Amino acid sequence: MNTEARAGSWSTVRPPGVGSEGTHYIFTCGEWKRKYNPRWGRKIALVLSCTLVGAVGTLKAFAVSYEMYLSIEFLETLAGASTFPTAYVYTVELLGRSGRAIAAAFLAAMLVVGGLLFALLAKTFHYWRTFILVAYPPSLLFFTYAFLLPESVRWLLSKGRRREAADIVKSAARFNRVTLSDELLYQLEAESPKTVETSDVQGKDETCDTSSGGAAVLEALRSRILVRRLVICSWWWISCTFVFYGLAINSVSLAGDKYANYMLVVSVELVAVAANALLLDRAGRRRTLLGAFALCGAACTSIAFVPAELPWVVTLLYLVGKIGITMAFGGVYMYTSELFPTSARHSLLGACSMVGRLGSIVAPQTPLLAAYAEWLPAALFGGAAVLSALLMLSTPETLNVALPDTIRDAEMLGAAPEPVHHPKTSPILLTLFKSEMRLDQIRSEGVAGGAPRAVRGAGLTLERA
């Protein structure tokens, strides 16, 4: 951001992504909220994160020293680093399985819209104090969400608060003009949380971990396969954050208007969002991510060989690299969660994300390398992406594979299935048949007189697993 220095100003500070090197610091302290999110509830965590970001971030406009600014920046990240993960979990828990892919794509598209608005504000308000006073205070309006949003039904059931969950379901049914049977309401209010979570009504809930997290993680770390997988996934996260934010920050040094370049780099993320929506469930997780990392690595590495007389080629390769790393960043969240067992999934996913913040911390320093060689930052981005692509070859495909519940299940991902000696009397087939019969019975009892075949908006969509 083209900050205008004033007489007596203690420092020149620029917001992240549109400024000079060394002024964007990302801290890992926000991961603490991953621990307390299940304890507080999705709605409270979301409202607190968004509101505190607005309140604490506004204070930066009144900083009188560089040390004070950094302290407030630390507190801001502490308050809001998990805002997007909380919003993501809350959204998918309110929807049935058929709507989750669309919801994930919608959230990613809104991030693009936010990036474009950020660049427009930076171009309009050059002085950093004015920029902060315009960009941050609107976040205080998120406080009203506490009175507008319901709590996650899945979270309420996991905590044994079944009557509150039933009230939300009834409210959603009234809004959608759906009549619920007494049998369905009885299952919500009378059954134990564990039974309700794994029933055919909701399907298996993988977002709520009711087991002992610490013991499950220690047990998972005794497995060499899972430890190796954890190291690989951690590098994916480091690579994604390093390249993603690094390309965004270095985009302002490209030829042409830096604001236009930044908006262009952000806009191409929509292409990546659409590509992920089409490929992840068709080509598979591993092949899609392998191609995304390889595309990014090839594009960034090629920048080193482009003559200085062709700046438009450098810009084009930057855009291609940003598409590739955005695809990888969007898919690695899903793929990582599918590689670990249910009992330790949330904790290990949080560990990968926390370690990945190292890439976010290093990325703002990469423009300093351009003083030695203009191609050096892009070469580092390409090398990190290529290494991630090679590591992708060592992990199994998870498309159309059931999520692993135990450590043994996670270790057996990608292994050849054990032969079934008695297929005619297989207990698995009998269990699946009984589940289908039970699901059809619930459908017939839970929907009355031509009403829609699903209860939308409460996390209870009646559909096949």
**Which of 395, 363, 361 lies closest to 231 in space, CA to CA?**
395
Q: What is the DSSP string of 63-103?
A: --SHHHHHHHHHHHHHHHTTHHHHHHHHHHHTS-HHHHHHH
**What's the rounded Cα separation, in Å, for the pair 77 and 228?**
30
User: What's the pLDDT score for residue 321?
Assistant: 93
pLDDT of residue 286: 92
Report the candidate in 419, 418, 409, 416 with the shortest Cα–Cα distance to residue 225.
409
Q: Which of the 8 DSSP states describes residue 51?
A: H
Q: What is the number of H-type helices and E-type strands within the chain?
A: 21, 0
Q: How far apart are CA 180 and CA 170, in angstroms?
A: 8
CA atoms within 13 A on the CB side of 146: 13
> Cα(367)–Cα(246) distance, rounded to whole angstroms?
8
Q: How many CB atoms lie within 10 A of CB 373?
A: 11
Instruction: Give residue 302's pLDDT.
Output: 93
Low pLDDT (below 50) residues in the chain: 1-36, 192-211, 419-436, 439, 447-465
Using CA atoms, how far apart are residues 368 and 349, in angstroms rounded to an integer? Answer: 32
pLDDT tens-digit readout, 416-460: 555 444 444 444 444 444 444 554 555 555 544 444 444 444 444
- Structure-token match 């697993």, residue found: 465
Residue count of the chain: 465
Q: How far is CA 380 from CA 70, 243, 363, 367, 385, in A?
A: 28, 9, 10, 11, 9
Burial class (CB in 10 A: 0-12, 13-18, 19+), 458: buried
CA distance 128 to 213: 43
Q: Judge contact between 414 and 304, C-beta under 8 A.
A: no
User: Rounded CA gap, 343 and 216, in Å?
Assistant: 6
Paired strand residues for 455: 460
> What are the start-end ranges of the H helices in 181-257?
182-190, 193-197, 213-220, 224-250
> Which helix (DSSP H) or strand (DSSP E) does residue 182 occupy?
helix 182-190
Cα distance between residue 41 and residue 149, in whole Å = 12
- Give the pLDDT of residue 132: 93
Q: What local confidence, expressed as pLDDT, does residue 429 receive? A: 42
* Of residues 149, 143, 150, the one with CA closest to residue 54: 143
> What sections of 306-375 are H helices per DSSP?
311-337, 342-362
Q: How far is CA 144 from CA 48, 147, 165, in A?
A: 11, 6, 21
pLDDT at residue 176, rounded to an integer: 81
